[in-house]
Structure formats: structure tokens, C-alpha cells
Chains A and B, each alone.
Chain A
Amino acid sequence: MTAMAERVATADALTARAAELCDVALRDMYVDPFWEARFGERGRRFAREDAHFHVVYLAEAVRAGSAASFVMYVRWLQNVLTTRGMCTLHLRDMLEAIGHAIRATGMDDVETALAYLGTGVGALRHDGDAARVGQLVPRDEGDRLAEHLVSYLGDAVALSLPRVFVDHVEWLRANGRRVGASSVRVEQALTDVLAALAAVEPSVPSAAAVVAALAEGA
């Protein structure tokens, strides 16, 4: 089989099995109670729809033999989602869940698709101040609470929209227990992230607006 024929076959298979891939990806994601608690039934519906779009865009990129269109789509979507209450990390999580689903279904010749997914994930970055915020490392690696906070903070700085971060903090303070986080833990995670932020200031002066908005909201 030529390389082009192989790509077309993979793209056809991805498109044909898109529903199954979405089912597997969402099932794995929703093991974490965060998703249901944070975004509810409406979020699940949109996540299903979005996952389908991700797979179709990926399939078309594979068919074309270039990750370019997928990367453009992912960057466009990052802007759409982060201005609507999601953070960049959520999008990365979903793309990675689709990658796991592709592997789990045992499809043939998926190396290109997985490589393009990786390229898309790699494109989910910010520049300038927001990039420096995004590199803040939570004290405990794998601490999702803190990772989400850092991601929302980076998006807020990138978009110059403090509300993006403040809204998530307010949600966490009101709903932390639903995702197994006591109010003490929420405040500790917030304190840690803000301390890490303070440590990189004044190289991130625009983050000060986000911190000020948070103080105002509190």
C-alpha cells in the first residue's frame, strides 16, 4: 500500500469509527468527577459534539498528509473555548483522551494520526507573559486542582480577561467538595499558585490584573 493509500485508509477508518472513538474518549474522561460537576449535562453534550469535530478534523489532516489544518483548527478552538469557560488544559485532556481511544481500539496504521494529535497538543501554547504563567509548576506534580488553576490563569493572561480565572476560582470555592476538594485544599492550591506567580513577577506584570480582579471578587 502506498503512503497516500495508507493515509486515506486511516482517514476513512477514523471517520467511520468517530462515534466509537468519542464514546471511549468521553467514558475515560468522565471517570474524573470533575467534568460532570464542572460542566454538567450540557457540558457532556457539547463534549460529545466537540470530540466528533476533533476526530473529523484529524482524519482530514491525515488524508491530506499534513498536520497544518488540524493545528489551525486546534488554535482556533482554543480561543473559542477559553473565552467560554474552559481552560486550555481541558482541550489538551480531550485531545489526549482521543489519542488513548485510537490506541485502545486497535486500529491499524495510526502512527500519523497520533503524531498529528501530538502536534495539535503541542500547538496549545501561549506566547509572552501567558507562556510564563503556563510554566508555573504546581507544588505536587499531577495535582489537577492546581494544574487547572494554572491553566485558567494562563488563559486569563493570554486573553486579558481576568474573569476567566476569577470565574473558575469562584466555581471551585462553591463546588470544590463535589470534586473531592475541601475548602482548605482549594485555598491552599490557590495560595500555592499565586505564590508561584509572585515568584516570577515582575516578569509577568499583566498577571497582576488577574490577581487584582481576584482580590476584588473575594
Chain B
Amino acid sequence: MDEAHTRALTDALLPRYLDAQLRGDRREALRLVVSEGLELGVSVDDLFFRVIEPAQIEIGDRWQRNEISIAQEHLATAISQLVISHLYARLPRAAGNGHSVLVACAPGEHHELGARVAADSLEMAGFSVRFLGANVPAESLAALVRDTHPDLVVISAATSLCFPGLRKMLEAIRGADAHVPVFVGGRAFRWSDECPVPHGVVHAGKNAHDLVSAAREALAA
């Protein structure tokens, strides 16, 4: 499918998907993404970054402007969680590159959608991924690093409020494995080019595509 056709389909899907989210219509949101996206040839990647992500950003903006409540924001986000879970079963996966990655949200970080998309994007690129989700305790993640010896750890944080917990998590990881590369990403690092990146870790870039490129480069994958 050429770019213009893809763009036309995703541009048409976005407002309808957003509308289904705001109505709390899970079935319609899923139908749109699968029947009018995936089955018409739109890639999972394009559905992630041209439909679901911009819809979530719009949901966040509407909450910020007090146009929707926290409950409505949760309702909409739960729908995207459901849709992404369905897409997981149909991820196009590159051949395995033999590298394993742990993806987790920092302690206190409850926004896991971005980390989930990052995990799925890494998996599409051929990485073997373990995804731990929101608000992972530092010591618990470190224990998993110790037990499973991943080639890379990726930690997501949406706000600076999580940075104290993130630093503890980084210390715990270093206690478990002094050398494993650690990437950080998420909205907290996108607010400004001058946002702080803790010492000894790598900023994974502004989106999941940047993360995949950085992971390939770091692991020569």
C-alpha cells in the first residue's frame, strides 16, 4: 500500500476511533482498527503511530482542558489497551535477532501504554521482549535482571515525579548487573531537549522508532 493510501485510511480512522473511545464503545473501536485498518492493509506500526497514539494524545489534551473527566480518560485508555492487546496477536515479527530486552515503567509510573507500544515495536523488530507494565518496584526489576540476564533494559517515565524512583531503580539494576545497557524514555524526556537523563543511562529517543534504532545500534542487532 502506498503512503498516500495509508495516510488517507489512517486520517479517516483517527476521528472515528477517537469518537468510539469517547463513547466507551470497545467493540466499535476494535472493529475500526481491525476491519477498517489491519484487514485493509494498514500496518500495525501505522495503526500505533497514526491512529492510537494521536488519539491518546488528544484524550490527554482534552483532560488537560477539563473537557473530559478522569473516568472518561481511563475509559478511553482502557480501550486502547484492549486494541493493542488484540494487535499483539497479529504483530508482524522480524526474524529473531537473539537479543532479549526487559521493558518496564519506573516505580510510581502508572502510564504504561507508551511502554507497551515500545515493547511491541521491539518485538516486531526481532527482539525477545519481556514487558512488566506499570509501576514496577525497583528491587523486583533488579531481581529479574539478575535472574534472566537481559541484553538491554528499557525504563519508561511520563513525568519528572518518577525520577527519584527511577534513580533507585537504576541503582538496583547496577547492583544486579554492572554492565547491562539501560535506556530511558517516555514523555518525561520529551518535554524539553534539556530534560534530565540520569547519569549512566541512554536516552532512547523521542519515540518507539528511535528506541528500536538505538537498541539495534547498541546491541549490533
A interface residue numbers (CB < 8 A to B): 15, 53, 56-57, 60-61, 63-66, 68-69, 71-73, 76, 79-80, 83-84, 159
Closest to A70 in B: B160
A15→B192 CA distance, assembly (Å): 22
- Asked whether any CB of chain A lies closer than 8 Å to the CB of B82, the reply is no
Known: A79-B65, A84-B66. Contact between A56 and B164, CB under 8 A?
Answer: yes
Query: In this assembly, does B3 line the interface, its C-beta being within 8 Å of a C-beta of chain A?
Result: no
Please indicate the chain A residues that have their CB under 8 angstroms from the CB of B188 in the complex. 69
Interface membership of chain B positions 63-86, coded 1 if the CB is closer than 8 angstroms to chain A and 0 otherwise: 011100000000000000000000
Q: Nearest residue in A to B191 (C-beta to C-beta)?
A: A72
Q: Are A66 and B161 in contact (CB under 8 A)?
A: no
| Chain B residues bordering chain A, tally (CB within 8 A) | 14
**Distance (Å) between the CB of B215 and the closest chain A CB?**
25
Tell me whether A63 and B196 are in contact (CB under 8 A): yes
Q: Name the residue of chain B whose CB is nearest to the CB of A52.
A: B161
Are A79 and B163 within 8 A (Cβ)? no
Where chain B touches its partner, the secondary structure class is loop
- Which of chain A's residues have a CB closer than 8 A to the CB of B163? 60, 63
1/0 per residue, CB under 8 A from A, across B136-174: the answer is 000000000000000000000000110110000000000
Is B195 among interface residues, defined by CB-CB distance under 8 A? yes
CB <8 Å contact, B194 and A64: yes
Query: In the complex, what distance in Å separates the CA atom of A72 from the CA atom of B188?
Result: 10
Q: When the two chains form their complex, are residues A66 and B192 in contact, meaning their CB atoms are under 8 A apart?
A: yes
Which residues does chain B contribute within 8 Å of A68, judged by CB atoms? Answer: 191-195
A69-B64 contact given A63-B196, A64-B195, CB 8 Å threshold: no
A6 to chain B, nearest CB (A): 16
Majority secondary structure, A binding face: helix
In the bound complex, residues from chain B placing their C-beta under 8 Å from that of A69 are 160, 188, 191-192, 194-196
Question: Given A69-B191, A73-B191, does the pair A64, B196 have CB atoms closer than 8 Å?
Answer: yes
Residue in contact with B66 in the complex, picked from A53, A63, A83, CB distance below 8 Å:
A83
- Per the bound structure, the CA–CA distance linking A56 and B196 in Å amounts to 13
Q: Let me know if B194 and A66 touch, CB within 8 A.
A: yes
> With A53-B161, A56-B164, A159-B65 given, can you name 20 additional A-B contacts, CB distance below 8 Å?
A57-B160, A57-B161, A60-B160, A61-B160, A61-B196, A63-B196, A68-B191, A68-B192, A68-B193, A68-B194, A69-B160, A69-B188, A69-B191, A69-B194, A79-B64, A79-B65, A80-B64, A80-B66, A83-B66, A84-B66
Closest to B67 in A: A83
